[in-house]
Amino acid sequence: MTKIYVDSSVVVAMLFGEEKSPKYREIFARQSEILSSYLLEAEVYASARREKIPLDSASKLLTDVTLIAPGRSLEYEYQKVFQHGYCRGGDAFHLAMMVHIDPDFSSLELLTADRQQEEIARKIGIKIFQES
């Protein structure tokens, strides 16, 4: 089974109970391995705090996600990301992490609710998670 890298837009949508939240919860339940960076944790907790949602609710959404730190500069990966257009810093970090984790784009797919980020990811060569 392919591993999924989830960005903050999906987990925040789940936290807020947005329209696609049930779909994302179903995807989480079916996947054996969901990865992200520690940036996910900060963004989800910040969103919870901003909307006055208990941090425990945010924590529960993160329990199925394996958080990864790069251990080195991602300069090479950022160059690859920004060759294909502009995206915000957090999105660039998530995409750079994906390039770092799976440089040949063979075993990791992106699950995102952010269309701009998805567009850059496709240009880089990152696979986008599609429900089967």
Give me the phi and psi of 113, to 5 degrees please. Answer: -105, 0
pTM of the full predicted structure? 0.93
Query: What digits encode the pLDDT tens for the residues 78-114?
Result: 999 999 999 999 999 999 999 999 999 999 999 999 9
Residue 89 structure tokens: 């810093």
Specify the length of the chain in residues: 132
- What are the tokens at 53? 């949602």
* DSSP letter string, 75-131: HHHHHHHHTT----HHHHHHHHHHHHH-TTSSSEEEE-S-HHHHHHHHHHTPEEP--
Q: What angle do CA 74, 76, 80 make, to 5 degrees?
A: 110
10, containing H or E segment: helix 8-16
What confidence score (pLDDT) does residue 1 get? 64
Interval 1-27 mean pLDDT: 94
In whole angstroms, give the CA distance from residue 74 to residue 126. Answer: 16
131 or 123, higher pLDDT: 123
- Give the chain's domains with CATH numbers: 3-127 (3.40.50.1010)
Q: Specify whether the CB–CB gap between 106 and 1 falls below 8 A.
A: no
Alpha-carbon span 71 to 92, nearest angstrom: 17
